[in-house]
Amino acid sequence: MSIQQLSSLLGISQQHQSRHELGEMRIHVDTLYSISEILELDIQELMSDFIDSYSCTYTSDKKEKDNLLVAELLLSPEQNFSLYK
């Protein structure tokens, strides 16, 4: 399906749709739902790459914070200070 066809079915301009695709503009949840219906995809399937990416980032950040907390408990104040330089 072309961007022209999708834009037409969504009732938005091609420029508006391009801004969504380029990440210049946030996409409204209603629009995501409409896209999933047009493409005959479950919304979770449509968003799977984003959800996986967010989950990995969150998990990575959480592990880093957990590691710093463990280091704070195990190291002396002088050693601990060097972690945050």
Q: How far is the C-alpha of 71 from the C-alpha of 34, rounded, in Å?
A: 48
Q: Average pLDDT of each block of 10 consecutive residues along the chain (85 residues)? A: 87 88 82 87 78 58 62 54 50
70-73-76 Cα angle (round to 5): 125
- Model-level pTM? 0.53
Q: Where are the domains of the chain?
A: 1-43, 47-85
* pLDDT for res 62: 63
Contact 16, 25 (CB under 8 A): yes
In single-letter form, the type of residue at position 17 comes to: Q
Per-residue pLDDT, 13: 92
Please report the pLDDT score of residue 68 as a whole number: 61
pLDDT value for 11:
92
